[in-house]
Amino acid sequence: MTRGDLGWSALTRVKPIETLCGQGGAESGLRRVLGLWQLTAIGLGGLIGVGIFVLTGVVAATQAGPAVSLSFVIAGVASAAAALCYAEFAGMIPAAGSAYTYAYAVLGELAAWIIGWDLLLEYALVVAVVSIGWSGYLQALLGQLGLALPVWAAGAAGTGEGRVVDLAATLGALGVAALLVQRIEWGARFNAAMVLIKIAAVVLVVAAGLPHVRVENWTPFMPFGFGGVVEGAAVVFFAVFGYDTLTTAAEEARDPQRQLPRAVLLSLGVALTLYIAMSFVLTGMARYDTLNNPAPVASAFAALGMPWATLLVSVAAVAGIVSVMLAFLLGCARICFAMSRDGLLPAWLSKPHPRFHTPHRPTLVIGALTAFVAGLFPIREVAELVNIGTLSAFVVICVSVIVMRHTRPDAPRSFRTPFSPVTPLVGVGFSLWLLSKLPAIAWERFALWMGLGLILYFSYGRRRSRLAAASCAGRSCDASGAAPD
């Protein structure tokens, strides 16, 4: 490789699909133990959070009215376009890393680094922000039971008088990290149990509310017009992603080519069905303009003389948020593991646990960082970075499907995105539109994070890349990867 090869050609070098497919199994040090239900539960863990009990009512009251169900349908179509693209890649490249790995196979090393660095921030922030939300619901549940944390441990400084640290958020993030260090099936079983609890709670709430639905509450159906329905879709879109977390566990799936595409589509289908059912029942139980409050489902049941629903929603929220924390921390650690294995991050991060065969080092590092942030910082605007990360990954995946159809039409595909390139283009268009709606402060902070990432890549990752080292095999390359002129 000449010095000129360190230019654009080096930045766009791709990792062959055959190499990626050969990284799983015993060579990776990870164990293939996850079945279809466990993978689907990871996706549902990321998809269904406390938003199902809050977002449906708030969007109905402020933007979509009873037509909030249509908002979920529109958002679901857009999210499904990206999900179908994820499913094609998951069946074609059963390797850890999700969008980072797929970008490496199609767009090259620099694009892969950018999306991987992007996802590390997104997933870590989700864990931190959700830990804080989990703490709030846990404290509310404890309050209903007559228990309370000391004031100093009830929240970060600046969130209330006398508060110093959000102890529950800190311990929650650390506890999830400790669980994920153990054998992957232990964490998967715990996650599956939490997912079952929250699905059962949603089904029970829908069943209990159905007899109290009044058709007249659905009139007018679109009080804010169709424009309000579309604006509502932009908001609820962020409740219908999270299935991408299950694709990061590709090297721990028993039959990834068959199970991953099915798990992606199944998790999104179940989540959308529950969101739409909740939307219809909630707006039928109570008028849409009464639902603009932090607990619209609980308040609607309380108005009907059914206060037990408040306790039920709190229990479901606590269980549901734990599974969200687990899904995103699992995904973040495995993306970090994949980047380290490729030489773009320090190699010690890709050394699996000798007994449990899990990526324990990135799990503990990221768990500690998210616990620190969740315990000491009141996260508000920073949470917008989560949306940038997800939507950017969606754009990359949808574009990559189109590119791969032309560059590697011969590659085995256990699942093919239907109606390509129309379906990927729908995903790209909707994601770009939502990106344009994000506030300027989010873009400024995202640019700072990307700047830091590019400095790290050009000063470390580019020179340590294993793909670059492989391309130098048999040549006299210097420390930077270049052959002397």
Q: What is the pLDDT of residue 382?
A: 47
Residues 397 and 85 sit within 8 Å (Cβ to Cβ): yes
Q: What is the pLDDT of residue 430?
A: 86
Whether 473 shows a pLDDT value over 80: the answer reads no
Q: What is the pTM (predicted TM-score) of this model?
A: 0.85
CA distance 270 to 47: 10
Tokens read off for 88: 């094609």
Cβ contacts of 7 within 8 Å, gap of 6 or more: none
CA distance 45 to 242: 8
The residue that leads in pLDDT, 362 or 96, is 362
pLDDT digits over 433-469, tens only?
888 877 787 788 888 989 999 999 999 998 888 887 7
CA distance 16 to 342: 13
pLDDT digits over 7-42, tens only?
556 677 888 887 777 765 545 677 888 899 999 999
Residues 49 and 238 sit within 8 Å (Cβ to Cβ): no
Of 340, 324, 330, nearest to 252 by C-alpha is 330
pLDDT digits over 322-337, tens only?
888 999 999 999 999 9
Average of pLDDT values for 54-74? 89
Residues 283 and 218 sit within 8 Å (Cβ to Cβ): yes
Average of pLDDT values for 138-160? 83
Q: Token pair 């899904």 is at which residue?
A: 327
CA distance 301 to 363: 40
Q: In which band, very low, low, confident or very high, does the pLDDT at 381 lie, cut at 50, 70 and 90? A: very low
Secondary structure letter of residue 27 according to DSSP: G
Q: In which band, very low, low, confident or very high, does the pLDDT at 475 lie, cut at 50, 70 and 90? A: low
pLDDT digits over 200-212, tens only?
888 988 998 999 9
Whether 356 shows a pLDDT value over 70: the answer reads yes
Average of pLDDT values for 381-401? 76
- B/e letters for 460-483, b = 16+ CB within 10 Å, e = fewer, are ebbbbbebbeebbeeeebeeebbe
Whether 471 shows a pLDDT value over 70: the answer reads no
Whether 383 shows a pLDDT value over 90: the answer reads no
DSSP string, 72-124: HHHHHHHHHHHHHHHHHHHHH---TTTHHHHHHHHT-HHHHHHHHHHHHHHHH
Tell me what the pLDDT averaged over the chain comes to. 84
The full length of the chain comes to 485
How many other C-beta atoms lie within 10 A of the C-beta of residue 8?
11
Q: What is the pLDDT of residue 156?
A: 82
Secondary structure letter of residue 411 according to DSSP: S
Average of pLDDT values for 143-156? 85
Cβ contacts of 123 within 8 Å, gap of 6 or more: 245, 328, 329, 331, 332, 335, 389
Residues 263 and 257 sit within 8 Å (Cβ to Cβ): no
Cβ contacts of 378 within 8 Å, gap of 6 or more: 132, 155, 156, 158, 159
pLDDT digits over 232-260, tens only?
887 887 778 788 888 888 888 888 888 98
Whether 376 shows a pLDDT value over 80: the answer reads yes
The residue that leads in pLDDT, 165 or 386, is 165
pLDDT digits over 153-201, tens only?
988 887 778 888 999 999 999 999 999 998 888 888 998 998 998 898 8
Q: In which band, very low, low, confident or very high, does the pLDDT at 483 lie, cut at 50, 70 and 90? A: very low
CA distance 46 to 195: 10
Q: In which band, very low, low, confident or very high, does the pLDDT at 424 lie, cut at 50, 70 and 90? A: very high
Long-range CB contacts for residues 296-302, cutoff 8 Å, separation at least 24? 296/53, 296/54, 296/56, 296/57, 296/58, 296/60, 296/61, 297/53, 297/54, 297/56, 297/57, 297/205, 298/53, 300/57, 300/209, 301/205, 301/208, 301/209
The residue that leads in pLDDT, 326 or 53, is 326
